[in-house]
Amino acid sequence: MNFVDKVKIKVKAGDGGDGAKTFHREKFVDMGGPNGGDGGRGGSIIFVADSSKNNLIDFYLAKNYLAQAGDRGISGKDGKSAPDLVIKIPLGTVVYVAEEPEIGFRINKGEKAALVYDFVKDGEEMVVLRGGKGGRGNKHFATPTRQAPTFSEMGERTKEFYFILELKTIADVGLIGFPNVGKSTLLSVISNARPKIANYHFTTLTPNLGVVKHLDTSFVVADIPGLIEGAAEGVGLGHDFLRHIERTRMFLHVVDASGYEGRDPVMDYKIINGELAKYSDACAEVPQIVVLNKCDMVQDIDEVIKRFEEITSNPIVTISGITHMGVSDLLTQTVKVLEKIPHKKPETTELNVIDERDTTSINIYRDHTGTMVLEGGYIDEAIRKVNLEEGDSFAYFYAKLHADGIIDMMRAKGLKQGTTVRIAEKEFEWNE
């Protein structure tokens, strides 16, 4: 395997560092005040589009990406924040987040995924996962009545996410057609690309890109791996590579006018267009120029042209990739068509936030044993800041519940003296 254009990876931003619960100590100072430092912020995950990359194989070989956690706070000093983890991806990569992370690395057909961002500009970078906040040290919890707090906040814990990366080639013009019709030869003639060329099917196993300059205009051409009948259903190389033509503004539909391999060029043309229509309506509507290649091997090219004129209104150009006959006329027509076609828009131009953290929801209910259970984002955030096993810390927690009206909500659900209450994994008997 030397080309990968769709992968799933596991990504996690760094946890925040825990705050410290320490007290100032020095010679002749026996009872110094709280001086616990704050924890450092965890590293964020940043995706950066890099035009020098054209393959996702690195992500096929390494699928776990974990940013560093922030350092813990220490006595009198905050912990150091962790560096961000920068992940370079090929230009043209569409990023999705899998909605069912438990399914692991295998990409299932029809798997649910939400679009995150479409990276179409070189150097474009986005923070896709934010690092966890560092916890506050005990110095923040000192009050006139609690001068020696023995608790601090834990750093914010981040969640794992599964991302699906899908590479879609960015090009103005796509070369489409059956295998071995001369697409790679044509690309080598009109551009700076040097694709592998040989006289057998599927020489091109990956999309090849080349820059063409003609009439003071430049445009990018992609040689798409050869399609065959059934490509839209995954036959041959088709299904995995059809995505690479989705961004192209127009097609040069190359056919072997000579019928050298015993195939009918008109039938080939119909089959490929049929596969495009099966794949998507958008692909079927992309403007085309019909390129009759290998015309130097055809005795009656007028008859071939006539047959195509009977079935299509698309422009028809005759060329020979080997002798370069007609290539200049083809490029001139291509430039004229491109001038009338706008560039395609990316799938999204705004980053869809995927790790929006719930810190407000709360659910209070009685389970089958009568225990009153508190859960939800509010509770998760609140217990991160306390140690329920420590007296001062629990008092701080209780004061927060009371100030935010949670105690009143519990009473409305039947809270009374002696009620068993469960918060997180801790159960205790309520005692006013």
Last residue of a domain, one of 302, 323, 338: 338
Total domains in the chain come to 3
Q: What is the layout of strands, in order, in the sheet containing 64-66? A: 64-66, 6-12, 160-167, 93-98, 113-118
Burial of 352 (0-12, 13-18, 19+ CB in 10 A): middle
How far is 274 from 242, CA to CA, in rounded Å? 13
* Whether residue 11 is found in the same domain as residue 158: yes
Last residue of a domain, one of 140, 167, 194: 167
Q: What CATH number should be reported for the domain holding residue 273?
A: 3.40.50.300
Q: Around Cβ 224, how many Cβ atoms within 10 Å?
A: 25
Full pLDDT tens readout for the chain, 432 residues: 567 888 999 999 999 999 998 988 877 666 778 999 999 999 999 999 998 888 898 998 899 999 999 999 999 899 999 999 999 999 999 999 987 756 667 777 777 888 999 999 999 999 999 999 999 998 988 888 788 888 888 899 999 999 999 998 888 999 988 888 888 889 989 887 565 544 444 444 567 788 899 988 999 998 877 555 444 444 444 456 677 788 899 999 999 998 877 889 999 999 889 888 888 888 889 999 999 999 999 889 999 999 999 999 999 999 998 899 999 999 999 999 999 999 888 888 888 878 778 888 999 999 999 999 999 999 988 887 777 777 778 888 888 899 999 999 999 999 999 999 999 888 888 887
Q: For residue 188, give its domain range.
A: 173-338
Asked, for residue 1, whether it belongs to a domain, the answer is: no
**pTM above the 0.85 mark?**
no
* Whether residue 17 is found in the same domain as residue 161: yes
**What residues contact residue 317 under an 8 Å CB cut-off, 6+ apart?**
289, 290, 291, 292, 326, 329, 330, 333
Last residue of a domain, one of 137, 167, 197: 167
DSSP, res 72:
P
How far is 313 from 326, CA to CA, in rounded Å? 20
